[in-house]
Amino acid sequence: MVGTGGPVPSFSVWDYVVFAGTVLGAAAIGLFQAIRTRKETSSAEFLLGGRQMTAVPVAMSLTASFMSGITVIGTPAEAYRYGTPFWLFGFSYAIMSIITAEIFVPLFYRLGITSTYEYLEMRFNKVIRVIGTSMYIVQTGGLKAVIWTDVFQMVIMMTGFVAVIAQGAVLQGGLNKIWEDASQGGRLNAFDFDPDPLKRHTFWTIVLGGSLMWVSIYAINQSQVQRYISCRTMTHAKMSLYVNMVGLWVTVSLAVFSGLTMYSIFKNCDPLSNGDVGALDQMLPYLVMAILEEFPGVPGLFVAAAYSGTLSTVSSSINALVAVTVEDFVKPIFPNLSERKVSWVNMGLSVFFGALCIGMAGIASLMGSILQAALSIFGMISGPLLGLYFLGIIFRSANSTGGLVGLLTGLILTLWVGIGAQVYPPLPDKTLPLNVSTAGCLYNQSQDLNFTTDAPWSSAVTLTALQPVDRPPLADNWYSLSYLYFCPLGTLVTVVCGLAVSAITGGCKQRKVRPELFIQKSDLFCFTCSTESSQLSEPVMSEKLDKINPSFADREPDRKEEEEEKVTRF
């Protein structure tokens, strides 16, 4: 009986067939693109799709590459255990899309870069660029194959969510019943305006902290930037982000409602408390096997959706890792490599980083919830990097010394609080898990000794992880900071410290910075300047290859004025 605990059926033959077919379909797309472009062996074609992509497939790839891997498994489990506050990320996605499309896209597109970290060398120096690249590598076929594979995987992922919700509605007597159960279980209380920064999810932590965190992912993360700068025009690049925003709204809504469906079915018998699953992230696969067993092949489709989500994220990340490694490490060391040799290096590094990702997955499995673990790492690493970019694109007085000190200071603080939170997890009065029940369980396989309950097993219970007896004073304040504030903390510290050190060390008096390296008024909400921007990028790209020396201040007066006039006109 569904929702009463106990063992569930295993895969049928058709489930294996559907799963294998989905994986082979994704591989076939990549193989087709590889064969189709086999004569186009340039690095730009492999890494940027020849800069000829259009908005819609890039948007779907953007949505799939960073949402799918953590969404398919993590978000429904989040909604089941903590309710609908995660849906408030919809506001964060809108803010992120505007900032990225109107500030960072014009800048990167105008400069014609391949690696987003090239900008750090243009604005500051080579050392800061290498540090930025190294931080990205720690965080973590050609681009055309990746994008079109992501499109296919996005469809599979959406189909999996719809199948769970539809069958859940049939079993529970309609969507209204699911909504009613969620309301009675306290799962619909999304708007908590408590300003306490230690509470895990409130309106402020999600909208303020979450917005900045997603800006750090979409605006400066190579995996995302590499997608929208592959577009044929700036108009397509900007539109890809706005279409992606809609895709994120749909995805998070389906994922959260899948979690509410899970709660409606398991409201009287929590599989985790009952010992039917060993971790919260196993809840959705358990549900799928329990409610979709009568539809051969459908459980296989769901597992394929989860696998596709992971594959999407990994394929995107590998391609981006290859791009920054080649641009920031290989080419500077071996400047005379032919295009053919660079292509072989690209493919070899893809295999290497693929193997590395498999090893990292084993480490990540020890970090608890896949959703919070992923977002915490992004916040710790990307926050200081975002602060460095803000220093570069907004503040003309910031210099390389200030940028370096600010970046390292911000990184040290975010790693301190992030690692501390992992060692001494916040207590339930800050994470606020909602009640679950085992009152309706027909099977009670075991009681997990790692947990205690606030009530007998026969009634509604609140699962509380046992905490070490000896908790240092910082554990319940500094280490309990909401993980969504890791990124704002790193960003703010980097900017403030960077400006202070820049002022102390003389600012940019000794080195004039070219005006095109800053954001410009003409960039904002401009959808008709894509042709001009691509024309402007050519001379800028040529100077980039010459290491942008001599500096802007050393150019002939006439040429300096001409360049300033071009930028102003643009």
pLDDT tens for 298-319 read: 888 777 766 665 665 566 667 6
Q: What is the pLDDT of residue 454?
A: 38
- HSE-CB at 462 with a 13 A cutoff on CA atoms is 13
Residue with the bigger pLDDT between 22 and 446: it is 22
Domain 13-569 class in CATH: mainly alpha
Query: Contact at 8 Å (CB) between 25 and 300?
Result: no
Q: What is the pLDDT of residue 143?
A: 42
pTM of the model: 0.78
Residue 466 has pLDDT above 50, yes or no: no
Residue 172 has pLDDT above 80, yes or no: yes
| Residues 292, 298: Cα–Cα separation, whole Å | 7
| Residues 155, 2: Cα–Cα separation, whole Å | 28
| Residues 112, 115: Cα–Cα separation, whole Å | 9
Strands 436-437 and 460-461: antiparallel
What mean pLDDT comes out for the span 323-345? 80
The pLDDT tens digits of the residues spanning 419-439 come to: 999 888 888 888 888 888 888
Helix (H, G, I), strand (E, B) or coil at 436: strand
Residue 411 has pLDDT above 90, yes or no: yes
Which residue has tokens 């294996």?
16
Strand partners, 124: none
How many other β-carbons are positioned within 10 Å of the β-carbon of residue 292? 23
Report how far apart, in Å, the C-alpha atoms of 29 and of each of 6, 316, 424, 502 are.
40, 15, 45, 49
- The full DSSP string for 296-329 is TTHHHHHHHHHHHHHHHHHHHHHHHHHHHHIIII
* Residue count of the chain: 570
Would you kindly state where each structural domain of the chain is located, as residue ranges? 13-569
Q: Crossing angle for the helix pair 143-172 and 69-82, nearest 10 degrees?
A: 30
Q: Crossing angle for the helix pair 89-99 and 234-266, nearest 10 degrees?
A: 170
Q: What is the pLDDT of residue 307?
A: 67
Residue with the bigger pLDDT between 59 and 182: it is 182
Query: Contact at 8 Å (CB) between 265 and 171?
Result: yes
Q: What is the pLDDT of residue 464?
A: 45
The pLDDT tens digits of the residues spanning 392-406 come to: 999 988 999 999 999
Q: Which of 392, 450, 382 is nearest to 418 (CA)?
A: 382
